[in-house]
Amino acid sequence: RKEVEQDPGPFNVPEGATVAFNCTYSNSASQSFFWYRQDCRKEPKLLMSVYSSGNEDGRFTAQLNRASQYISLLIRDSKLSDSATYLCVVRLNDYKLSFGAGTTVTVRA
């Protein structure tokens, strides 16, 4: 079983829509969680950390459910510039991050 699993999508949404997707992780001892954004053929960049109580950063909301071992990302009022692949990342220990394969979001005009 993969350490981190994501629905690859793509999620095709119109501008202004809300889109949400999940990521599941297999190791219950995972210590912390993050969402990265990767544009086509570019390097990944940290989008936001995911806190136990849930957190928002502008139009982005991240949630963590430790009991069911998943995290989620919700994007409100989607912009064309939100089109990207979103990578779910789990920190297993002090030196290892485990990356999901990514969920692709395409926002259309």
Partner 1 sequence: DGGITQSPKYLFRKEGQNVTLSCEQNLNHDAMYWYRQDPGQGLRLIYYSQIVNDFQKGDIAEGYSVSREKKESFPLTVTSAQKNPTAFYLCASSIDQGVLTGELFFGEGSRLTVL
Closest CB 62 distance from partner 1, rounded Å: 12
For partner 1, the closer of residues 78 and 84 by Cβ is 84
Assess 62 for contact with partner 1 (CB under 8 A): no
Joined tokens for residue 60: 């982005």
The pairing of strands 103-108 and 84-91 is antiparallel
For partner 1, the closer of residues 8 and 14 by Cβ is 8
Rounded Cα distance between 92 and 106, Å, is 30
Q: C-alpha angle with apex 35: 107 to 55, nearest 5 degrees? A: 95
Which residues in this chain contact partner 1 in the complex, by CB under 8 A? 2, 4, 8, 32-34, 42-46, 49, 87, 89, 91, 94-102
